[in-house]
């Protein structure tokens, strides 16, 4: 018994050292976990392994690289009409060059873009595109709910799979624990394929939303599959989200991202079959247009915190304005400092968050960080409903739309994808949407923040300690 206690003690000491030295956490996060480990001996170690250790991401990244050692087909054909980022505006050129050089995100183009802020309209078009598919359908969502929308999606996918169309579906394992396997059975019986992406530890999640159809139509955004996204749920109404439908050359990039995730997620026994399928694909060739965009992926694919660094590049490039929509505002220190610096320098910052509660612990932390911006003259709006959109517009020239929440998990941990769109009708359209949304908001002022009650302040002080976990 003594020997066992001694072994457990040394394991515990090692974890403390790992927190401080090995995993190279930020000082704030390191101190948080040292506090947890000291206050909750041994149980704290379990919490750290599940929620705090970056080993989950490192193991995932290692497993992916090992799987992809074999030469992966280049799904994106070489660009024949390479666009010089210098042809963009100064702000656009700077951000595009950064994403090319730092994140290896190629500058691509699209022919048409359609924005959806209403779930019913989005699902209507998505299901119509699926029904029109002739070759393949790739679906990747964080969660596919067990409700009438989820069942409708499975039904239309099963119909296409039975017609011989290749149907591949990815979703997060943890987020879909309540979705029974039997809901997907019609799809599987029809020959479609489904993989629930399992984390090595629960700290890591697959949060991407990607749809690619026939190598020519693609979707990204904040919407998952479920009735709440169509304002059919009893809570959090009205629901305000953003999804974008694209066609053109950029869809080849979405193909590549999805199929990389697919190769990394399939079971070992299906690996050779998956490789063979991916190798046989011939990407559709499009002519480049002047409607330019880049896709940024973050998570286990890279150790560069790609999404966070893209956001920093956009914020630091701003000269006039920054408009943000997010369900949670829990930025890390670098993002917060960049926004503070921008606001203090005269850049107009407008932040839109939900007006109804997200959760009892997320809302106080969001309020705390909103106050950090309000102090420097930023404007904060609370939407009369639930904002689930994840967007940012800089200087009315660059628009970012994707699955990325403005919180530490999305920015630095989970698998995410976002599109950066440069000066185009789409950017102008989203500015109009943002301005229209403000009409459905209540302003949250600096004075109102100062006047909040003791209970609110106490909750903020407590929950903000756990911000690195959110």
Confidence at 377, pLDDT banded by 50, 70, 90: very high
Res 332 pLDDT > 70: yes
Confidence at 382, pLDDT banded by 50, 70, 90: very high
- Between 184 and 280, whose confidence is greater? 184
* Strand ranges, E, within 299-445: 321-325, 329-330, 348-354, 379-383, 386-387, 391-394, 398-402, 406-407, 416-422, 441-444
Average pLDDT over residues 414-427: 90
Helix (H) or strand (E) run with residue 172 in it? strand 166-172
Architecture field, domain 66-83+111-288: 2-Layer Sandwich (3.30)
Instruction: Average the pLDDT over each of 49-63, 274-288, 325-339, 353-367 and give the range with the smallest value.
Output: 49-63
Average pLDDT over residues 280-306: 80
Q: Do domains 66-83+111-288 and 306-469 have the same CATH topology?
A: yes
Position 105 scores a pLDDT of 87
Task: Give residue-wise pLDDT tens across range 151-183.
Answer: 999 999 999 999 999 999 999 988 888 889 999
- Domain boundary assignment for the chain: 2-53, 66-83+111-288, 306-469
Residue 201 burial (CB count, 10 A)? 16
Write down the H helix ranges in 54-198: 55-67, 90-102, 119-131, 148-162, 181-189
Position 290 scores a pLDDT of 83
Distance between CA atoms of 258 and 191, rounded to whole angstroms? Answer: 19
CA distances to 16, 27, 195, 411 from 333, in Å? 23, 11, 35, 12
Instruction: Average the pLDDT over each of 188-192, 216-220, 453-457, 460-464 and give the range with the smallest value.
Output: 460-464
Res 50 pLDDT > 70: no
Distance between CA atoms of 200 and 198, rounded to whole angstroms? Answer: 7
Position 272 scores a pLDDT of 73
Distance between CA atoms of 136 and 120, rounded to whole angstroms? Answer: 24
Position 57 scores a pLDDT of 60
Task: Give residue-wise pLDDT tens across range 229-247.
Answer: 988 877 788 899 999 999 9
Distance between CA atoms of 353 and 363, rounded to whole angstroms? Answer: 10
Task: Give residue-wise pLDDT tens across range 314-323.
Answer: 999 999 999 9
Confidence at 7, pLDDT banded by 50, 70, 90: confident
The per-residue DSSP string of 96-115 comes to HHHHHHHS----EE-SEEEE
Average pLDDT over residues 32-45: 71
Distance between CA atoms of 342 and 392, rounded to whole angstroms? Answer: 14
Distance between CA atoms of 199 and 456, rounded to whole angstroms? Answer: 35
Average pLDDT over residues 66-87: 56
Res 215 pLDDT > 70: yes
- In the CATH scheme, what is the homologous superfamily, with its name and number, of domain 306-469? Endonuclease Chain A (3.30.870.10)
Res 64 pLDDT > 70: no
The pair of structure tokens assigned to 112 is 């048409």
Confidence at 129, pLDDT banded by 50, 70, 90: very high
Position 356 scores a pLDDT of 86
Q: Taking a C-beta distance cutoff of 8 angstroms, is the pair 460, 364 a contact?
A: yes
Confidence at 454, pLDDT banded by 50, 70, 90: confident
Average pLDDT over residues 34-54: 69
Position 150 scores a pLDDT of 95
What proportion of the chain, given as a percentage, has pLDDT over 70? 81
Position 34 scores a pLDDT of 73
CA end-to-end span of the chain, whole Å? 38
Confidence at 74, pLDDT banded by 50, 70, 90: low
* Strand ranges, E, within 277-415: 292-298, 321-325, 329-330, 348-354, 379-383, 386-387, 391-394, 398-402, 406-407
pTM greater than 0.75 (yes/no): yes
Position 300 scores a pLDDT of 64
The per-residue pLDDT of the chain, averaged, comes to 84
Confidence at 301, pLDDT banded by 50, 70, 90: low
Res 193 pLDDT > 60: yes
Mean pLDDT comparison of 29-43, 70-84, 293-307, highest-scoring range = 293-307
Position 434 scores a pLDDT of 95
Q: Peptide bond preceding 238: is omega within 30 degrees of 0, i.e. cis?
A: yes
């Amino acid at each position: 018994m003594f020997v066992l206690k001694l072994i457990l003690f040394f394991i515990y000491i090692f974890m403390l050292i790992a927190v401080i030295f090995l995993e190279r956490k930020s000082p704030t996060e390191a101190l948080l976990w040292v506090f947890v480990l000291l206050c909750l001996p041994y149980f704290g170690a379990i919490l750290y392994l599940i929620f705090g250790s970056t080993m989950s991401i490192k193991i995932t990244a290692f497993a992916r690289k090992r799987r992809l050692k074999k030469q992966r087909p280049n799904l994106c054909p070489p660009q024949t009409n390479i666009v010089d980022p210098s042809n963009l505006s100064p702000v656009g050129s700077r951000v595009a060059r950064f994403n090319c050089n730092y994140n290896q995100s190629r500058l691509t183009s699209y022919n048409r873009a359609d924005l959806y802020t209403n779930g019913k309209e989005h699902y209507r078009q998505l299901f119509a595109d699926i029904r029109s598919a002739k070759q393949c359908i790739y679906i990747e969502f964080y969660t596919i709910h067990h409700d009438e929308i989820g069942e409708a999606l499975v039904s239309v996918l099963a119909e296409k799979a039975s017609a011989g169309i290749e149907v591949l579906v990815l979703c997060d394992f943890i987020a879909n624990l309540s979705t029974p396997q039997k809901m997907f059975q019609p799809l599987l019986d029809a020959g479609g394929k489904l993989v629930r992406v399992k984390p090595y530890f629960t700290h890591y999640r697959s949060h991407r939303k990607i749809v690619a159809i026939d190598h020519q139509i693609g979707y990204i955004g904040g919407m998952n599959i479920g009735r709440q996204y169509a304002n059919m749920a009893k809570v959090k109404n009205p629901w305000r989200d953003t999804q974008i439908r694209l066609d053109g050359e950029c869809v080849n990039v979405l193909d590549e991202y999805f199929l990389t995730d697919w190769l990394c997620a399939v079971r070992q026994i299906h690996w050779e079959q998956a490789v063979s399928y991916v190798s046989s694909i011939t990407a559709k060739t499009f002519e480049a247009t002047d409607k330019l965009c880049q896709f940024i992926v973050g998570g286990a694919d890279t150790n560069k915190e790609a999404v966070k660094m893209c956001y920093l590049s956009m914020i630091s490039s701003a000269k006039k304005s920054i408009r943000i929509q997010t369900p949670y505002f829990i930025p890390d220190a670098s993002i917060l400092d960049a926004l503070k610096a921008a606001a203090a320098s005269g850049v107009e910052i407008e932040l839109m968050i939900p007006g109804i509660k997200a959760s009892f612990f997320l809302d106080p932390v969001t309020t705390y960080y909103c106050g950090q911006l309000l102090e420097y003259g930023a404007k904060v709006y609370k939407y009369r409903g639930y904002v689930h959109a994840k967007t940012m517009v800089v200087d009315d020239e660059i628009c970012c739309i994707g699955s990325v929440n403005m919180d530490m998990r999305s920015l630095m941990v989970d698998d995410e994808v976002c599109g950066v769109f440069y000066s185009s009708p789409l950017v102008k359209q989203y500015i109009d949407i943002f301005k229209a949304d403000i009409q459905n908001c209540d302003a949250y002022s600096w004075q109102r923040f100062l006047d909040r009650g003791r209970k609110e302040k106490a909750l903020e002080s407590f929950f903000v300690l756990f911000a690195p976990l959110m």
